[in-house]
Structures are given as C-alpha cells and as structure tokens.
Structure 1
C-alpha cells in the first residue's frame, strides 16, 4: 500500500537481473500500469494506479426554448457522482464528474421538480462513455372552443374572451357565432383547469347566460342567448259600448313588433 511497500528477497541470482512486479487484481475503479520493472540493483519499482474519472453532461430541451434552469441529479451503475445536484438549462448543461467507476456504466439523470406547465421525459439515460443525455420538456397545450346558441338562430357574431384557472390563453379575444365557435389555445396549464368564457357586450335585445364554463379537458362550453319577448295588449273602450272592431298598430322605442297591425 502507499507508504508500506511489498518486500521481496531475491537469492541465487547472477549479474543484475531485471525484475518485474505485477498487481492482481487491479483495484476497482482505477486504471493501473499493472506492472513495474527495474534492475535488481535498483532495488525497487512502483506500480501506479489512477482513479478513473469521466465527465457527464445533462442537457435540457424545452419545446418553446424556455431559458429557465431546472435541478437535475445523476446516478451511475458504478462509481461516485459529484456534485449531488446541478442546474441545467438550454445551452447550459449540468456537468457531473463520475469517479471510481468500472466498465462503461449506465448513467441516469432525473429532473425534480418537473417545470410547471410542461410534460417531461423526467429522466434520460446513456452510457458514461457517451458522455451526455437530454431531458425533454414539452409545453402543455390544449384547444378550447366557445360556442354560441341563439334562441332564434341569429347568425351574428359576438366577441368572447376566455380565462383558465392555470395556463396562458391565446388570443385575448375572438368572435363566435352559431356554427362558428371561437377557438382558443391554452398553454402551460397544470392539471385540468376550469375555463370560463365571457361575452361582451351582450347582444342587444337578448337575455344571455353571459358566461359559460367547463374543464379544459372537456374542450368546449356554450353561451346561450334568448331573444327577449313580451306581450302587449291594446284595448278598446267605446263610450257607447260599440262592438265594432278597429285596426290598430303598435310601435315601441326599442324592439320589433309583430304583427304589423
């Protein structure tokens, strides 16, 4: 061992022979000269052992090129890994050093926690000799439709907006009419958030639910508009109680009147 050499006695030699020493087995996790040799007159030789060391990179790939860093760790089938954890972002991989390994072990990297709003491979793995692996994160994305239903099948379009409990919504507003729903894209959401659509302004002459709501996973909701309707009676009063009928018409400051007369 270091500081305590092996001591051999050679007898009956002639001249100054070459002597060769061999270690077996080679210590685990080390590269070794394996042997050393010197003339007996030199009296010694040294076998060198070098701790095996390799670098391993863990790369990140975000579908939307998010520059944020995430925490990753690495374990290898053999060897010691340093540091225990490191940060990785696009273009700036986490760098680990593996020492004392045997052969070409499989190394597995894990990110924790998974970035909010993303689906993730979670881990990546490669042989230490390959030197790197990549964890992929895909921004979560879903489509949500806001439909319109007019009681009188009015074809007019209305402006609607959408908000979800988590995630970003695009566009900020869109038009919806019967048969042509407003289409929104929700990205970066977590779980299955509740999404609420609002129309503004409410179409003139209609009562409206005003909003509709559904889980993003349901993919759609419908805002209902009911045409406002009221009955109005026009009475006749003859001073002599004449029973004859007369023609009358009606106009209102707003709204349509039926019949014309």
Structure 2
C-alpha cells in the first residue's frame, strides 16, 4: 500500500537569510522531500511525497488533506506562533487517530508537538558551529537500521539537557557535542494510535539534511511511523449506544 507523506516546511529562513538561501536555495522542505523519495524508492517502498508550507497551511493541512496523510514531517523555527491553533489541534488529533508525526530540530517548540507532549519542551541551546555525534542507543529499533555509530555532523547548533519532555517510550539516539553537552536527540512516543519520532539534527544554518546518514534516519522514521492499520477507521465512543450491554444477557465463559 502506498505510503502517503507530507513534508511541512515553515519556509521563512529561506526567504530572509542569505546564508540559508545559499545552503537551501529551494528550501529545506525540498531537500527533505527529495531524500525521502530517493531512499524509499531504493528500499522498495511505494510512496507519495507532497510538500506543505506555512503559506498554504489551511489547504495543505486541511481536514481532508490530513485524512489522506499517513506520516507528516514538520520543520519550524521562527514562526511557530503563525501556525493557527486549529491546525495544530487538527494535527494532534490525527496523530491520536493513527497518523505518524516526525518533528525535526526546532519543531520541539511547534504547537502540535507541545500539544502531544503536554510540557514546555524547553531545552538548553547555543550556536557555535560545533561537531555533533549522534549515538545509537537502541540498535534493534527500525529507525536505527543502516545507521553508523555514531553519525558525525561536522557543524551544528548545540542542544543540551535538560529537555522538558515526558520520558520517551523508547530512546533511539543520544547526541554529544564538542562543548560537553549531551541531548536526547532521537525520541519515540506513542500517542493514541499514532507514533511520534522527534529528531533534533537539522539547524537551518548548516547543510545537515544533505548528509546521507541523516537522510537514512528520516527514511527509516517515516516507514516506521506509518499507521499500523491503514484501512481501520478511528474508534469513537459515540459509536456505541449508551448502556448497550444492559439489553442482552451477558454470558461469561471461563
């Protein structure tokens, strides 16, 4: 069955920052979408990848569009507040119904991720172009398939603990930085029927999403996060009439 992926890009830095324009002239979202198409095709995964932008968010992340989305990746940074609350709630609701969500880098502050975590999602950070080493701590997890140990990111914004999130259901990656910081950089959560994978490498000022090892993680993540029961409608309490069990004799078999 075709894996339907939406790549959400805020697409703000690419419009105003010459450094980001030089690295990602077509936008980070384009690089992410292209790498997913390439890697999934090589893996033999049939996939449709579309791009959703903040400028067209009401249409690209409408109820109808999200209903046709299996996995949504999300990159945002300078315009979290411009995401309408109703869209964020819509995304969170779809995750509970089974859609996968992959928040990337500064998307720890995105409205959908904060709704799903129920915490501030604050962290420590500084930006001095230091090396990041992404260490695999759950080698059996599907997201870690084919990933070197560690992934070396030559220059990257530094994130550090504490990271105010609930304890992950599983920790796949932990990063270390030149300055001594450590950070839970690859975190798995389940919310309702949906899966969430937060992955931190990918600041806009560095060409992180061109790295093949980072692309491998993203391709693994969207495959892992796809709904487990694609054709099963969400179960809603309202579907069952009140006190339905009182109308018939109940037989217990021991």
Scaled by the length of structure 2, the TM-score of the pair is: 0.19
Specify which structure has the higher proportion of strand.
1
| Greater RCO, 1 or 2 (C-alpha within 8 Å, sep 6+) | 2
Q: Compare the two structures and name the one with the higher helix fraction.
A: 2
Q: Name the larger-Rg structure.
A: 1
Calculate the TM-score normalised by the size of structure 1.
0.19
